[in-house]
Amino acid sequence: MLSDFDRYLIGEGRHHGLYERLGAQLRTVNGVEGVNFAVWAPNARAVQVVGDFNGWDGRQHGARQLPNLGIWELFIPSAKSGQRYKFRILSEHGQWMDKCDPLAFASELPPLTANIISDINSYAWNDESWLQERAEFDPMHAPMNVYEVHLGSWQKGPGRTHGWLDYRDLARRLSDYCHRMNFTHVELMPISEHPFTGSWGYQSVGYFAPTSRHGNPEDFMFFVDHLHQNGIGVLIDWVPAHFPKDDHGLRRFDGSALYEHADPRQGEHPDWGTMIFNFGRNEVKNFLIANALFWLDKYHIDGLRVDAVASMLYLDYSREDGEWIPNRYGGRENLESIDFLREFNDAVHENYPGVVTAAEESTAWPGVSKPTSEGGLGFTYKWNMGWMNDTLRYMRNEPIHRQYHQNELTFSLIYAFTENFMLPLSHDEVVHGKGSLISQMPGDMWQKFANLRLLYTYMWTHPGKKLLFMGGELAQWNEWNEDDGPQWMLLDFDTHRGVQQLVSDLNKLVVDNAALHHYDFGPEGFEWIDCQNAQDSTLVYLRKGMPGTAPMLICSNFTPVVRENYPIGVPEAGFWKEVFNSDSEAYGGSNVGNYPGAHSRGIGHHGRPDSIAVTLPPLGTTILRLEQ
């Protein structure tokens, strides 16, 4: 399977098509059909291939080691697609271990662990037009409203273990729902094979295998294909930061610390009880970058959200003095990991134009979303964790106290354009005792719903791309766990249907109005009108698109007191049409607003040449657009 050029690239750690050479590859040799098995295990004394084709007796199929590469290889004519297999490895200490194939394309349903020989090259894709348009996609200026989903709990149904729906059924249901809700993309929590369902996929063993909980590789291809054909992009969470300690996985794969660091001060995460990849090893970097490109190549994925980037950047992440090893300059930066992230981003953007990468990075590391050519890490987007924390902390305050915390809302605009930010209200905000979003809102029942509608409207009008975790659009009361999905039954109530309709309408408003998406990452798209009225807890600002497009005026009232005849300075005279009101009775509000809009008065205010007088709804936002 390996040409001289393959061997050269593998030796350099730059074989981006590694998944077409290692693992279990269906092939024909001299007219004989079979499977070529290959695995990297440089410190093994022997490697056998065991499986259904030999009664799991490895003595029949011993692999040979290729010189200078540490790769063991064997062609087995009797092996066929659909059969199970593993590698049986003899460590340098004389112990036999059954290990999963690191590059396997499919695995058994956990808790079973064997890999499955799979043909992933025969699916007939029908998303050519989507891929052509994606190549021209402009992630800086296009709207992006992302619906974060855990496939195992989004919806349940009969017929599969634990009520898990298969990929094909999920594809039809999810694409229909996203259309109705006007989401542009879904983001899937990790779908690579993982032994422990409670890890939500963030502790993966099968990096090249979509989880068998919902079907086989072709079923997942159908999932992506179907969403593409219906105009929905597919992002996935990708976890190169760490992997679990399961005996059948990557840990001490050939009896030595191969994928991980040997020293626990570098090789183990104290928080998660997992192993850390050795990014200083060429073969490990090659494995991970090839894995990222694999999902884009074989499964047409549109973007990768990289989990736990902060833990990759700092050698002392979650460690006390003496529990970490400084870099060669004596610093705390993980230089090998930084090089890996830059190489990963360059490889993605060079090979797949229009594909996005997003970093879940919770520190002030500079240049996360700057190009590597400018010294950045090269991500397309960075999750704005500071905005999320400040905003939720502000919203948890009783309205009467919010006047003392106005800076928690306005602070984000000081740094809003230092990175290409995505605003996340993700699964992390509704787990581990935090409660659901609506349960975090203060006040009586009416105020809780009004506050949630106010929060969403503020988020959707703030600069940055948007991400909302499933169930948030329903205003569900329960915090999420992997066994219980969204509380769909709540849609029997007008108040919950109102929040769902509000999210749908906000998504459409962002997509249809360039002022709300074109300049998400630049100051030319935002202008404060009034951010200093802390006593009334109000915010007024403009969102602006390209020249010639109508600006949008956002007026928010974070108290339950109606503000009548509220003067607001505007940059242009004319009729400002009310295009959205979070207090509309259609959303469960009190219907206080300004329909159909307000005419300018020829009176300057807020340092602007003209002004309008509006009514600010209680715990609500009114959005007005200048009509030309």
The answer to which of 132-136, 305-309, 319-323, 492-496 has the lowest mean pLDDT is: 319-323
**Domains along the chain with CATH numbers:** 4-117 (2.60.40.10), 523-627 (2.60.40.1180)
Residue 271 has pLDDT above 90, yes or no: no
Q: Which one of 6, 268, 360, 473 is the catalytic residue?
A: 360
Q: What is the C-alpha to C-alpha distance for residues 517 and 514, in angstroms, rounded to an integer?
A: 5
pLDDT in tens, 55-77: 999 999 999 999 889 999 999 99
Q: Give Rg (Cα) of the chain.
A: 27
Find all residues with CB under 8 Å of 10, minimum gap 6, and list them: 2, 18, 21, 69, 71, 283, 286
If phi > 0 it is left, if psi is from -120 to 50 it is alpha, else beta; for residue 96 that is beta
Q: What is the C-alpha to C-alpha distance for residues 582 and 555, in angstroms, rounded to an integer?
A: 11
Q: Which one of 166, 187, 218, 307 is the catalytic residue?
A: 307
Respond yes or no: is residue 246 known to be catalytic. Answer: no
Q: In whole numbers, what is the pLDDT of the chain averaged over residues?
A: 96
- pLDDT number for residue 628: 65
If pLDDT is split at 50, 70 and 90, which confidence band does 37 have? very high
- pLDDT number for residue 484: 86
Q: What is the C-alpha to C-alpha distance for residues 174 and 227, in angstroms, rounded to an integer?
A: 8
- pLDDT number for residue 68: 86
- pLDDT number for residue 157: 87
Report yes or no on whether pTM surpasses 0.85: yes
- pLDDT > 70: what percent of the chain? 100
Residue 446 has pLDDT above 70, yes or no: yes
Structure tokens at 53: 């084709």
DSSP string of 24-51, one letter each residue: EEEEEETTEEEEEEEEE-TT-SEEEEEE
Report which of 175, 322, 195 is spatially closest to residue 249, judged by C-alpha positions.
195
Residue 160 has pLDDT above 90, yes or no: no
pLDDT in tens, 477-533: 999 998 888 999 999 999 999 999 999 999 999 999 999 999 999 999 999 999 999
Respond yes or no: is residue 307 known to be catalytic. Answer: yes
pLDDT in tens, 594-603: 999 999 999 9
pLDDT in tens, 169-215: 999 999 999 999 999 999 999 999 999 999 999 999 999 999 999 99
Asked whether 51 and 108 are in contact (CB, 8 A), the reply is no
Structure tokens at 376: 């950045």
Which whole number is the average pLDDT over 457-482? 97
- pLDDT number for residue 449: 98
- pLDDT > 90: what percent of the chain? 95
Q: Where are the beta strands (DSSP E) in 277-364?
A: 303-306, 356-359
